[in-house]
Amino acid sequence: MNDFHSTAFFVKHPFRIEDLKVPHRYETRKRFVVVKTIELSKIDYDNFVADLCVDRIFIEENKGLCHVNEDGVWRCLLVKQRGRSDGVLVMPDGRDYPKYAAYYPGEEDEL
């Protein structure tokens, strides 16, 4: 489990990564912690971010790790392309696809 803890703008039922990169109201940010990082090949990551509505086996296998804890912190997955620092924070909320997702610009960048 990664120990970084920050805030992000989670979007409900996003279709593609562009839906996560639009401006959001500051007060809608949620605190999160990454419980597992999933690294995909370039083609698999490109496929994932092009259609976030599709069930994914890697989400199905790890959705039990994700929930909002008693302090309101979103425990989520970080899905990224191998070799890159940016990616998508995924909160499946019991689903096999990202019911909620947020763009993660990378550890060296501010959220």
Full pLDDT tens readout for the chain, 111 residues? 444 458 999 999 999 999 999 888 888 899 999 999 999 999 999 999 999 999 999 999 999 999 999 999 999 999 999 999 999 999 999 999 999 999 999 875 444
Q: Write down the domain spans for the chain.
A: 7-104
CA atoms within 13 A on the CB side of 97: 15
Q: What is the pLDDT of residue 60?
A: 97
Q: What is the pLDDT of residue 5?
A: 52
Q: Are 14 and 54 in contact (CB under 8 A)?
A: no
Q: What is the distance between the alpha carbons of residues 68 and 29, in angstroms, rounded to a whole number?
A: 14
Residue 67, beta-bridge partner list: 75
Sign of CA dihedral 97, 60, 48, 105: positive
